[in-house]
A and B are shown apart, each in its own frame.
Chain A
């Protein structure tokens, strides 16, 4: 199943933390194509879809960050009313719970990045209903 790799980094929830992370990525000439942040109390997790996830994760770890790679699903949708609803409906029908979700539209194309408990199962479900599940390469090329 097509999945995309996100780099997840632990950070404290206080000013300046994102800059510490982006500095490391910028120095390695890594392009960030999508970002998802979740915070809880004093800490948070920043997730990025980047041109070279392995290098990004390696460099962050080397600088002492708690970083890891996680799998997500990228789905392409038409940029029109009701498109997201169709995706949501088919996930709902198969009882798939969403953990973190991010999406954007540009140049009449829309991409939805989904984090779920079982990415392979979610991908199969979406495919079965005729949705286009993107590979890492396709996703990076699309955005």
Chain B
């Protein structure tokens, strides 16, 4: 099924011509943004120089650091009056990355989601339960608007308790869910313990699973446990949130909506483009956004382009599921976490020593091992418990995820030369 069949199946030459036209318009608009104007001046770039898609290389990269340095609104390309909505994403320092939407951007983001839902067979008869966090995180509202666009009845459940999720599913006949892979697993376990067979007792048919990287094996397990089809979903706040790339019914790779995003894969070390099928860092340019388009944004997500056309008939190219990150960002329970955030919190607590270790285990459990500073010890076991709770609370406030904290003896954690290995990821996702 198609939402915008003509656009989704536009032949490649026409699609590329549209991309180039929109890219030129975007670049012209960005000349009004001091950050990009400075970059263009620095490299001698002029919009007339853009003659083909290969000329993308003349454009500057945009990084997460640029977004942070231009926080809150340095990259805004329209007046504040034209902004309809703000979303943010966590950054490596206390400041988040801010992304603005104009009225057209809000509507357009919903269109892209609608295409994605429609291509897996979602219709207005579906009941769509969005189990992602609402609020500043795009996984809530952006997906919500897209599902409404299709005409589904949308239940803005949020992450809530499993008891409540189940109640909504039972009472309102939920057929489609949007969920993180870790929560999908957790929920399947919960149903099993309650003695509920989702095939017999629920109307669930499909899940859109994203916000965290996961493997093909995990997809199969979630499908088997819930008796549904699981579709891989990719997005990032800087590019609208969800809806950048989605799977069709073929479930082999995610179509990137190339009329909206120019797709490049580069070698993260050399910044040179890699060939189709070769792994590298995904670089995206938003060519159909008004409020805050970004040129050649370094996503740090590692993937590759799947060569060749897709059986579904869509001409928009596909990328493989994300296999990892080219920086040290962690995604825990759908939340972006940088080890530096954890370090900053720990170093602000005097009773805590220098060394720490972040362990990720099981489905999505984070344990932070913290060395006790010898000077911070007064012999009272009660004070150790208090310290432990203090570390947990401060980390939760910074990360929005509650970790387990273990106090360990000073000098007991491995010390490595050069860049310390602070993260051990043994998750089974």
Is B377 a contact partner of A66 (Cβ separation < 8 A)?
A: yes
Which of B378, B406, B410, B411 sits near A42, CB closer than 8 Å?
A: B406
0/1 interface trace, chain A 67-94, chain B, CB 8 Å (1 if under): 1111000000000000000000000000
| Interface flag for A12 (CB, 8 Å) | yes
> Quick one: which of B385-429 are within 8 Å of A by CB?
385, 388, 406-412
Given contacts A45-B379, A68-B378, A70-B379, contact A12 B385 (CB under 8 A): no
Interface size on A, residues (CB 8 A): 23
Determine how close the nearest CB of chain B comes to the CB of A80; give it in whole angstroms.
32
Residues of B near A38 (CB, < 8 A) are 381
Determine how close the nearest CB of chain B comes to the CB of A120; give it in whole angstroms.
17
| Interface flag for B336 (CB, 8 Å) | no
> Quick one: which of B366-383 are within 8 Å of A by CB?
372-374, 376-382
> Bound state CA distance, A135 and B379, in angstroms?
21
> Bound state CA distance, A45 and B379, in angstroms?
7
Residues of A near B388 (CB, < 8 A) are 41, 43
Which of B380, B385, B406, B410 sits near A66, CB closer than 8 Å?
A: B410
Is B372 a contact partner of A66 (Cβ separation < 8 A)?
A: yes
Is A66 a contact partner of B381 (Cβ separation < 8 A)?
A: no
> Quick one: which of A28-65 are within 8 Å of B by CB?
38-45, 47, 61, 64-65
| Interface flag for A4 (CB, 8 Å) | no
Is B372 a contact partner of A45 (Cβ separation < 8 A)?
A: no
Is A10 a contact partner of B384 (Cβ separation < 8 A)?
A: yes
Nearest neighbor of B375 in chain A, beta-carbon distance = A66
Residues of A near B376 (CB, < 8 A) are 66
Residues of B near A69 (CB, < 8 A) are 379
Determine how close the nearest CB of chain B comes to the CB of A37; give it in whole angstroms.
9
Determine how close the nearest CB of chain B comes to the CB of A98; give it in whole angstroms.
12
Which of A43, A47, A67, A68 sits near B407, CB closer than 8 Å?
A: A43
Residues of A near B380 (CB, < 8 A) are 45, 70, 99
Residues of B near A8 (CB, < 8 A) are 377-379
Residues of B near A41 (CB, < 8 A) are 385, 388, 406
Determine how close the nearest CB of chain A comes to the CB of B393; give it in whole angstroms.
15
Is A40 a contact partner of B377 (Cβ separation < 8 A)?
A: no
> Quick one: which of B191-242 are within 8 Å of A by CB?
none
Residues of B near A61 (CB, < 8 A) are 374
| Interface flag for A126 (CB, 8 Å) | no
Interface size on B, residues (CB 8 A): 20
A6, A8, A41, A70: most-surrounded residue (chain B CB, <10 A): A41
Determine how close the nearest CB of chain B comes to the CB of A50; give it in whole angstroms.
14
B373, B406, B409: most-surrounded residue (chain A CB, <10 A): B409
Is A67 a contact partner of B410 (Cβ separation < 8 A)?
A: no
Nearest neighbor of B351 in chain A, beta-carbon distance = A66
Determine how close the nearest CB of chain B comes to the CB of A6; give it in whole angstroms.
8
> Bound state CA distance, A47 and B408, in angstroms?
17
| Interface flag for A11 (CB, 8 Å) | yes
Which of B373, B378, B381, B410 sits near A44, CB closer than 8 Å?
A: B381
Is B409 a contact partner of A40 (Cβ separation < 8 A)?
A: no
Which of A6, A11, A39, A47 sits near B409, CB closer than 8 Å?
A: A11
Residues of A near B411 (CB, < 8 A) are 64
Is A70 a contact partner of B378 (Cβ separation < 8 A)?
A: yes
Nearest neighbor of B388 in chain A, beta-carbon distance = A41
Residues of A near B384 (CB, < 8 A) are 10, 40, 43, 45
Is A10 a contact partner of B377 (Cβ separation < 8 A)?
A: yes
Residues of A near B373 (CB, < 8 A) are 66
Is B378 a contact partner of A67 (Cβ separation < 8 A)?
A: no
0/1 interface trace, chain A 1-17, chain B, CB 8 Å (1 if under): 00000101011100000
> Bound state CA distance, A66 and B353, in angstroms?
11
> Bound state CA distance, A68 and B373, in angstroms?
12
Determine how close the nearest CB of chain A comes to the CB of B390; give it in whole angstroms.
14
Determine how close the nearest CB of chain B comes to the CB of A82; give it in whole angstroms.
30
- Besides the known contacts A10-B384, A43-B384, 4 further A-B residue pairs in the complex with CB atoms under 8 A apart: A11-B409, A42-B407, A43-B372, A44-B381
Name 17 A/B residue pairs within 8 A (Cβ), A-sorted.
A6-B379, A10-B409, A12-B406, A12-B409, A39-B381, A40-B382, A42-B408, A43-B372, A43-B381, A43-B384, A43-B388, A43-B407, A43-B408, A65-B410, A66-B410, A70-B378, A99-B380
**Cβ-closest 9 pairs across A and B:** A8-B379, A66-B377, A66-B374, A38-B381, A70-B379, A64-B411, A42-B406, A45-B381, A43-B407
